[in-house]
Amino acid sequence: FRKAVRGEPLPRVVEGGPTPLERIPAIRNPTINGIVEVARGCGRGCRFCVPTQRYLRSLPLEKIREEIRVNRAADHLLIHAEDVLRYGAKGILPEEERVLALFREAAESGLDTSASHAAFASVASAPSLVQRISEMLGVGSREKPMFGVQMGIETGSPSLVERHMRGKALPFSPEEWPEVVVRAHGILADSRWVPCSTLVLGLPGETEEDVRKTRELVERLGEFESLIIPLFFVPVGSLSGERFFTAKDLRAEHWRLYAACVRHDFRWIGRLIREHFRDSRVKRLLTGMLVGVMRRRLEPYLRRMEEGESPLP
């Protein structure tokens, strides 16, 4: 930073280790979307994820309280961690009282609060935690009908979990992963949490059978209000020697999986729009019309994808 301030030439990449907690500076002004970082690192160690493989460190509550105070000028608070349910955890299991103390700070601020990320394994291993947070924040009320959070399914194949993301399923086994994801969706739905989840297509060693299992999992999630977004594998972290997955690598089973995700998202997007724009009839109407047009235009392509064909020209 000193070099940058002096206008000296800078290296293209700067490598560094984890910053000790006491050296993480407090914010001085409100952040975009009122984001307040409450923890760094993850520790679950998925092989396709770089910075979050670092060990989990939670910021002290006093510092978080101060950042919430600075963010009072924003009309919203976004609690950020790779898994907000493991705030303050020493191991893999959530420490419920510490997480509740964190959300109590947010609730007492009076600001509309949301969270950035959470893990399905944490939801399933502490089933009452999500419900208690929802009660604290008034989730499910007319003013706050739902609580959106970004999560990672990545695959429905236990063998890919075993190979690349064993820690993501803990304290459960890779074999239990699909059931953990389904059970966690049920717990989230009961407390009006709506996950927006990612999948990773083209993980090294992925077979047609793995992709089929992921599609079956997506189909099982149909009854739960959520969005599912398929992403392509990017070679980083301990998988940096592998090749990128590209559109040219998409096979019949991938197209079927894509179609299942699009159908799932169309199933729920209307309700999400109504909830999100609950105070604006015009926005509800306009976005609803836009989605209707997209749905009609995409239908022939979706049918082809469901047959395992590429819709690309």
- Closer residue to ligand SF4 (CB): 177 or 255: 177
- Closer residue to ligand SF4 (CB): 201 or 262: 201
Q: Are 197 and 228 in contact (CB under 8 A)?
A: yes
Q: Are 18 and 57 in contact (CB under 8 A)?
A: yes
Binding site for ligand SF4 (CB under 6 A): 42, 44-46, 49, 52-53, 82, 119, 152, 165, 168
- Closer residue to ligand SF4 (CB): 52 or 287: 52
- Closer residue to ligand SF4 (CB): 53 or 238: 53
CB of 64 to ligand SF4, least distance (A): 20
Q: Are 194 and 226 in contact (CB under 8 A)?
A: yes
Query: Which residue carries 């793995």 as its tokens?
Result: 210
CB of 45 to ligand SF4, least distance (A): 6
The radius of gyration of the chain's CA atoms, rounded to the nearest angstrom, is 21
Query: Nearest 5°: CA angle at 159, between 129 and 130?
Result: 5
- Closer residue to ligand SF4 (CB): 82 or 210: 82
- Closer residue to ligand SF4 (CB): 83 or 253: 83
CB of 273 to ligand SF4, least distance (A): 28
Q: Are 27 and 70 in contact (CB under 8 A)?
A: yes
Half-sphere exposure of 95 (CA within 13 A, CB side): 9
CB of 227 to ligand SF4, least distance (A): 17
Residue 71's nearest CA partner among 45, 106, 103, 34 is: 34
CB of 217 to ligand SF4, least distance (A): 17
CB of 239 to ligand SF4, least distance (A): 12
Residue 53's nearest CA partner among 162, 164, 156 is: 164
Q: Collapsing DSSP states into helix, strand and coil, what is residue 250?
A: coil
